[in-house]
Structures are given as C-alpha cells and as structure tokens.
Amino acid sequence: MAEAAVEIVTETLSSLLLEEIKLLGRVKQEVESIKRELESIRSFLKDADARAAVEEEGEGNEGVSTWVKQVREEAYHIEDVLDEYMLNKAKHPHDFDSDLMRLLCKMCCFINELILSHGISSKIEDIKSSLAGIQERRHAYNFSDQGSSSGTKKDIPHDSRVGSFFIEDAEVVGIESTRDELIGLLVNETPHRSVIAVVGAGGLGKTTLVGKIYNNDAVQKHFSCQAWITVGKEYVKEDLLRTIIREVYRPIGTAPVEIEKMEESHLIKTLSDYLKDKCYMLVFDDIWKTEFWGDVKPSLGSLVNNKTSRIILTTRDRRVADSVSSVKVHELQPLPYEKAWELFCIKTFGRGVGCPPELEKLSQDILAKCGGLPLAIVAVGGLLSNKIQVVSEWQNLLNGLGSKLGSDPHLKDCNRVLSEGYYDLPSHLKSCLLYFGLFPESYKVSCARLIRLWLAEGFVSYSKIRLSEQDAEQVAEGFLTDLINRSVVQVVKTDVAGRPRICRVHGLMHEIILRKTKYLGFSHVVNREVSGKSSKIRRISIQGGTDGVLKSSGDSKIRSVFLFNINQIPNSFMTALITNFELIKVLDFEDGPIEYLPDGVGNLFHLHYLSVKNTKVKVLPKSIGKNLNLETLNLKHSLIAELPFEIKNLKKLRYLLVYHVENNFICGVKIPKGLGSLMDLQKLFFVEANSEELKELTKLKHLRRLGIRLTNTSGKDLCACFPNMGNLESLAVYSTSREETLDIESMVCPLRSLQRLRLKGNMKVLPDWIFKLESIMRIDLDLSGLTDDPMRVLQSLPNLMHLTLIETYHDEQLHFKEGWFPKLEKLELADFKGVELMMIDKGPMPNLRELTIGPCPLLKEIPNGIEHLRNLKFLEFRHMLKEIYYMIKDKNWQKVTQHIPKVGVTFSKEGKESYVTAKDLSSVSPVDFEQNFNVAK
C-alpha cells in the first residue's frame, strides 16, 4: 500500500513538471529531486510491503511495518503540499479585464509567488530531510530491489490446505452433487488427456472437494498412477518438475537420485517418458501463477495417448484456467443458505442438535457474514461452540468479528486464507480492493460508479494508460476484471454480454478490508458505533448520522466523502464540510437526504467526482463552473431540470449523467449553449435538445453514450451529428411523446460501433440503417405507428442478444421461425394487446435464457412450442395473473415447462408489485384464487 501511495505522488510530480506550472527555478529542481528520491524508495517498497504484511499478521517485529508507515505518511505529506500549492495557484488567477488591473495584479502575484514558493521551499526541505532519514533506515532492514531475485518470500509462510485434505465425510456439507459430477468426468472413457479446473475464492473448499475426489475408491481403481502436488504462490520451475517426479514415483519407490542434478530439459524428458504409457491422474492444488500451465505442459506427455489421463487444477484465479486450452472449468459457488445453515449448526451445536430459538436471529446474522464460505462457517462455528449459549455472547461476537479475525486462534486459518487474496495483489489493485471498505457491508456497488471513483482518486496512472494503449476507463475496467478473476470481488449482476454491472465483497472479506483500511489510514467509517479522532485519514464514509464527523476529522486532509443510510443532514453541515476540506477530490452524496449544494462547492479546485444521484437537489450552483478538474457529474434522479451556462467551462468533464423519471417516462434536462466545448465528454444522458442545441453535439467526437429527447426539431438534425460520433456505443432517442413522429431515417453512414439502441416515439417503418448494425447487442423499441413486423426485420441481426419490444406488435399471431435470432439471450414482449396466439418453431432462439411476456390480455394459451427453448432458465408473465392461472390448469403445462427452472407471474396488489411462482399458483384452488389473488391482473 505504501507503494501505491508513492506511485500516485510520483505521477502527480511528473504531471506537475510536464504541465510546466511556473515554479521558481530552485523549487522546480527540488521537486525533481524529490521525484527521483521517491522513485528510488519505490523500488524497495514491494519487498518492504511484503515483510510488513508478515509483521501485521504477528509473525515478525514491528520495525519494517513502522518504516513502511513512515514512507506512506511522507507520500501523503508530499501530496498535501503539492495539492495545497496548486490550490493556492488557482486562487490567484492572472486573467483580468483591464491593462491597469493586469499590471497591478502582476506585481501582486509576483509577491504572492515569492511567498508561496518560499512556503513550499521550506516544506520541500522538510520532506527531503524526512526522505533522507527513511533511506538510511532502509539499509538497516536490508531491503531488496523489486527486480532482484534475492528478495524475501512475498507471501505469508503457511499452508492452510493441509487440514482441508483430511476433513471427515461427516463434516462435509453441500459438495455431494459437484463431487459426483466431477468423478463422472474423470472416469468417463474419453481417450485423450483432459484437464478440469476448479476455480473459486479462498475458503470455498476447493482442496476439500478435490481431496474427496482424489481418495474416492472408483477414482483410485480407474487410474494406474496418481499424484497430488501443492503448487503455492512461489515456485522455481525446475524444483516444481522435481516435485512432480517424486510424487509420481512415490507409489513404486524412490525417484531417481540423479534428478537433483538434472537441468530443465532432462527433467521434462524424464517425466514425459514416465507418464507416456500411464493412465494417470495429477492434481495441481493452489495455483496462483498464470504461467503455470506453460511451465508444466511439455512434461505431461502426449495429449492423445488413449490412456484417459486426467489433470485437475485448483485455483482462485480464473486466468489460470483460461490459460489451458480445452479445459473444463467448474466455478465453485458459495453454499446456498440451507446447506450453510446445516453446516453452521453442525459445527456450532453438534450434529442432530438444533439452534436455540433465542439465538436463531443472531446466528443467522453471524452466518450472513460468512458469505457461504465453508471455511469461514466452520471456523466461526468452532469459535461459537466454545461459548456460553446466551444472547450477549453471540452479540459480542457479531459486533467484534472483525477484530477477532486477526486475534482469535479459532479464526487464524480463516483470516490467513482470506488475507492471502489481498496480499497477492499488486499495489494498484490493493487500493482498488480497499475502496470497498467505504461502502457498508454487503453493499451492491455499481461497477460504473466504482470505476469512475477509482479514476477520480488517481488509481489509474498515466504510465499504465500509456503501456496499455487504452483509455483510462478501459484500464480501470481491467482492474475490476482482475479483482473478479482473482476471486476477491463477487459479481452480483452482469449485462447481456456477460460484463459485470453490479459487484460486492462478501462479509468476512469486508471485515478484513475494514481492518486494513484502519491500519493503513486509507479510510475511516464514521457512524454511531465508531467514533474517535483520526487525523491522518484520506477518506471518510459517513454512515448512520453526521454527529461528530467534523470534530473527528477536523485535522485531516480529506480527499473523499461518502454518505450512507443517513436520514437528515443540516444545511450547516454541508457548508462546513465543503469549507473545511478544500482538497476534496470525491463528493459522493448518492441517496443522501440533501436538497441543495452550497456555492462553496465551486472552490473545490481538486474536485474530480460529484454525485447527487437520487437526491432532492433542484439547482446546480453557478459556481460549478469553477470546478475545472471535474470529470464525473452525476445528477441522475435528482430534481435538476436545467444545467447552468457555466457548465461549459468544465473542459475535463467525461461523464454527465442527468435525468429523472416522471410517470415512467424519462425526462431529460435543458442544456445551455456552449456545451460543445466539453470535448472530452464520453457519456451524456439524458438531455433535451432542439436544432440549435444539436449543432453543439456535433463537436462531441468522443461520445460513447448519448441519450437525447428531441424538442421542436427534426430527427434529421440529429442524424447529421452521427458522422462525427465514431465511438458511439449506446444511443437512446426519444420524441416528446409516443405519438410524435420520430424521424431518424436519414443517417448517411451506420454507427458501426453501436451496441445498444433505444427508440421511443411514432415511426411507421424501422430505418434501414438499423439492419446494418453488425455490432448491436441490445435493442429497446417503444414505438407506435409501426406497419412492419419488427420481429421479422430484426431477427437476422447477427449479434443481437437482448430485445425489448413495447406495444410494437399488433397482429393476432406471433410466430418465431427456424433460424430467427441466433444469439438472442433475453426477450421482453410488453403490451402486445392484439396477440392471441404465440408459436415457436423448433430452431429459433437457441440461446434464449430469459423470456418475459405481458401484459398480453388476449393470450389464453400456453406459447405453442415453448418446450423447444431448451436453454430457457427464466419465464415471467407480467400482469397476466388470471390468464396464467388457467393456463397452469391445462394438462400440458407441466410437460412443456418442466425444463424451465423458474416460472412466475408479477401482478399488482394494493398498489405494489407482487410475484408468485407458477408452482405455488398451481396449488391454489379456484375458490382461494378468486378470494385471495384475483385482485388485479
């Protein structure tokens, strides 16, 4: 983490020098000197951070940890000095209207420059003195350069998997079906060698599962040669090959003595020759390096030897599995609640003994913290089994579980296994993971929000952008993908293309993150339970109330402020917050009870991210035009109806998200003249524009997402903008009402990069350019007046995966024919008021997973041919309760829907949306249905 802090500061120093801010000669030299000094220190920080991690876990002395802390705090100090300097520069602009004022001010500014430079010079001298002392102490600890091969071991030295291998069958819960499935893959008669990868987070039971398979009688009889090799984080290739040779030779005796002297090529040949005629099974457990398969593959003999050999890999990192061609990947999932509860009760109360009623709620809350991880459930259950079964003891454990993770012997292995995932991360990903500590436990975070916050914090360095040849957002997306692949972040929701949209970390990982953020001074949670003064924190998350926040953080150089679960915020608090923390980069007020933004927000020169999403803010202050470094402005679901003219000054703005919903209709905001000056804008959603304002949009050549409502203008003006928008990926175009004509047929060239399209208005025929959208993955149409059958004309789009049609079909029969929609995975059909019969041939929509229908008031029969949709996982009928109830009574219902795991109906009850499964509905008698369900369709 110190390395991450130093990296951010060195990047800032580089930027400061590159932008040629007018530093006096000596100051500029000193800044360059500090930059060189930091780069020198940074080369040793990876080794020091690794040693500090060992110390933090209580396996070393405090010296190295103290040194790393000093480096981190000095990096923060440098960042503060730089930010304060740039803020002061911004407060003394050189642009004035008259020559006389310009001359007078030039003299004034020269004096101020001397004062400021003298101030920063003295601070720089203090910094240099501190850095010199830090460098001297480095030698005392004999740190190795990050490029040196003589470095210390980078992981915490332990192997917590050994115990997992010997767990009794009676203590194993929830893996039976997975075990049997994988055994079937191992002993089938596929002649060529095959590879199975078991992937999942630490603590999910990968080693336990594979251990049960490895020792299974049928498996042992099937293979003539078996070996188990624990790989671990660090290995030398030659030593790994020797280990494999020893293990495969173990059943017949000792491996050849000469392997100790063999070089790599000879080791590969020895192992390959030994295995070539064997029906072998090799388990490689706990793989961390993505290059592993390339290291061992040449030594494992021919792919096709007609001996049905099998290899199993276990890893936390999906990238390890992806490095193997033709691999069968099994992603191990957390235990479902019923199995988790069963395991918890066995470990806590004993087999066959239930949970006392008075402890049930607390036990469920404690279990929720474990996130379905068997290791965590077993560890926490073991801890509870030694405690008195009284509410106060259970409550104390729940409240103090985070601190107990780092101290209680029962939780030692669990803490280590979960912490391994953090320690293995490179420095920039550690910062990204720690950011989850700013959100409440189990909070589901929007991936887009998270990525923009990382960008605002400076976690994506210019050097990484240059190396990747991608833009900053794509690099940040890569960071999130890496955390997901490493199984430290969970995906809650994906889009139709499989990209993560919502994510979170599970309960115990969140506890570990909170402990790390406190230890590192990364952030501080302020709520009713957590108090105390913390003067060196960089970020605060205000949860539950604002009492004491300013007092506890008054001396801090706060960079980020978040609000969660707060019912009321005094206006005085908002004003004081912005006044006290001038160096703020992030203000995230999403879902907060705020009604206005103080004018002082314009004084936050370093502000990069501002969100008032889902608040009651009505007006954006004109002072917003002074936030020249602002990159994200999120006004979604606020009450803001018009943007101030001054917004045109925000030349660095990349994301402008602003709209609200009235009566299920998206309402955009009015945009001022001059919006075309925001040349870096990538997302603009959702605005209202006439022909004059559309001319401004032609200048926005970097737009990726555009949402627009056309007012008093022809769609032809909008089409004229498209040739300049070669990067556009998402486009939503609405007319002012569903009855008003939407004329967007005159596009000269298709938007070849477009992936998502939404249209709402009146249109007789779909524009020809829609059929040329080869990259399109999602289309939403809410159109009146269509004379064409939209199904027939859209069915051939090669990459269409999600289609939503709202009141766009008026025929009596809806017929899906063979070959239609080859890649469609999600289909929503709403307000098809004229459809009486739906027919599905054998062959269309082979990949369809979700189908939503309704309301279709005239549809009285089961969709004919729905049994052909073999991959359908979810079927929902909306506001068709009575129709579906009687469809269920049809004798064919069970036959044609039995392959669909989830079938249900939504309906309105007492003004609220309700849901009932088809299975539950089928057990309701007609009398009960009329009395209890027939409230509304």
Residue 607's Cβ-side half-sphere holds a number of Cα atoms within 13 Å equal to 25
Looking at residue 931, what is its pLDDT?
78
Over residues 338-364, the mean pLDDT reads: 91
Name, in order, each residue with C-beta under 8 angstroms of 586's C-beta and a sequence gap of 6 or more. Answer: 453, 456, 457, 539, 559, 560, 561, 562, 607, 608, 609
Over residues 28-32, the mean pLDDT reads: 66
Predicted confidence (pLDDT) at residue 742 exceeds the cutoff of 50 = yes
Name, in order, each residue with C-beta under 8 angstroms of 453's C-beta and a sequence gap of 6 or more. Answer: 435, 560, 586, 588, 609
Looking at residue 751, what is its pLDDT?
80
Over residues 832-856, the mean pLDDT reads: 93
Distances (CA, A) of 814 to 796, 803, 837, 856, 859: 17, 15, 6, 12, 11
Distance CA 274, CA 266 (A): 12
Concatenated DSSP letters for 98-154? SHHHHHHHHHHHHHHHHHHHHHHHHHHHHHHHHHHHHHHHHHHHTPPPTT-TTPPP-
Distance CA 497, CA 387 (A): 48
Over residues 238-260, the mean pLDDT reads: 89
**How would you classify the pairing of strands 826-830 and 813-816?**
unpaired
Looking at residue 158, what is its pLDDT?
41
613-665 pLDDT, tens per residue? 999 999 999 999 999 999 999 999 999 989 999 999 999 999 999 987 777 67
Looking at residue 42, what is its pLDDT?
62
CB neighbours of residue 64 within 10 Å: 25
Looking at residue 17, what is its pLDDT?
56
700 — phi, psi (to 5°)? -90, 80
- Is residue 669 within 8 Å of residue 643, measured between CB atoms? yes
Q: How confident is the model at residue 100 (pLDDT cuts 50, 70, 90)?
A: very low
Q: How confident is the model at residue 147 (pLDDT cuts 50, 70, 90)?
A: very low
Concatenated DSSP letters for 420-482? HHHHTS-HHHHHHHHGGGGSPTT--EEHHHHHHHHHHHT-S-HHHHHHHTS-HHHHHHHHHHH
Predicted confidence (pLDDT) at residue 761 exceeds the cutoff of 60 = yes
Q: How confident is the model at residue 332 (pLDDT cuts 50, 70, 90)?
A: very high
Over residues 59-70, the mean pLDDT reads: 65
Looking at residue 53, what is its pLDDT?
64
Looking at residue 828, what is its pLDDT?
96
Lowest-pLDDT range of 29-38, 149-158, 238-247:
149-158
Strand segments (E) across 855-910: 874-878, 902-909
Looking at residue 151, what is its pLDDT?
37
Amino acid at 25: G
Distance CA 875, CA 861 (A): 15
Looking at residue 698, what is its pLDDT?
85
Asked whether the bond before 686 is cis by omega within 30 degrees of 0, the reply is yes
Lowest-pLDDT range of 149-163, 382-396, 749-763:
149-163
Predicted confidence (pLDDT) at residue 871 exceeds the cutoff of 90 = yes
Determine what percent of the chain is predicted with pLDDT higher than 70: 81
Predicted confidence (pLDDT) at residue 119 exceeds the cutoff of 60 = no
Predicted confidence (pLDDT) at residue 169 exceeds the cutoff of 70 = no
Looking at residue 61, what is its pLDDT?
54
Distance CA 872, CA 825 (A): 9
Concatenated DSSP letters for 545-594? --TTHHHHTTTS---EEEEES-S---HHHHHHHHHH-TT--EEE-TT---
3-state DSSP call for residue 622?
Answer: helix
| CATH class, range 425-520 | mainly alpha
Distance CA 829, CA 779 (A): 12
Predicted confidence (pLDDT) at residue 281 exceeds the cutoff of 80 = yes
Looking at residue 413, what is its pLDDT?
84
Looking at residue 54, what is its pLDDT?
62
257 by Cβ neighbours in 10 Å (0-12 / 13-18 / 19+) ranks as exposed
427-478 pLDDT, tens per residue? 889 999 999 999 999 999 999 999 999 999 989 877 777 776 788 899 999 9
Predicted confidence (pLDDT) at residue 115 exceeds the cutoff of 50 = no
Over residues 899-918, the mean pLDDT reads: 88
CB neighbours of residue 420 within 10 Å: 21
Looking at residue 823, what is its pLDDT?
95
Task: Please provide the average confidence, as pLDDT, over all residues in the chain.
Answer: 83
Distance CA 836, CA 70 (A): 74
- Does this model's pTM top 0.85? My answer is yes
Give the right CATH number for 162-331 from 3.40.50.300, 3.30.70.260, 3.40.50.1000, 3.40.50.150.
3.40.50.300
713-731 pLDDT, tens per residue? 777 778 888 888 888 999 9
Order of strands across the sheet that contains 490-494: 445-446, 500-504, 490-494
- Is residue 807 within 8 Å of residue 831, measured between CB atoms? yes
121 by Cβ neighbours in 10 Å (0-12 / 13-18 / 19+) ranks as middle
Specify the DSSP element, H or E, that contains 776.
Answer: none
Predicted confidence (pLDDT) at residue 104 exceeds the cutoff of 50 = no
Residue with the bigger pLDDT between 782 and 402: it is: 782
Instruction: Calculate helix-pair angle for 2-18, 25-56, nearest 10 degrees.
Output: 160
Looking at residue 10, what is its pLDDT?
66
Looking at residue 40, what is its pLDDT?
63
CB neighbours of residue 118 within 10 Å: 12
Sequence ranges of the domains in the chain: 2-141, 162-331, 343-416, 425-520, 809-937
Looking at residue 814, what is its pLDDT?
92
- Is residue 195 within 8 Å of residue 182, measured between CB atoms? no
Name, in order, each residue with C-beta under 8 angstroms of 188's C-beta and a sequence gap of 6 or more. Answer: 308
507: left (phi over 0), alpha (psi -120 to 50) or beta: alpha
Predicted confidence (pLDDT) at residue 7 exceeds the cutoff of 90 = no
3-state DSSP call for residue 895?
Answer: helix
- Is residue 387 within 8 Å of residue 363, measured between CB atoms? no
Lowest-pLDDT range of 28-42, 458-472, 530-544, 889-903:
28-42
Looking at residue 78, what is its pLDDT?
74
Distance CA 863, CA 156 (A): 59
- Residue among 825, 713, 725, 804 nearest 759 (CA): 804
Looking at residue 111, what is its pLDDT?
40
Asked whether the bond before 570 is cis by omega within 30 degrees of 0, the reply is no
680-699 pLDDT, tens per residue? 999 999 888 888 888 888 88
The two structure tokens encoding residue 365: 């809350």
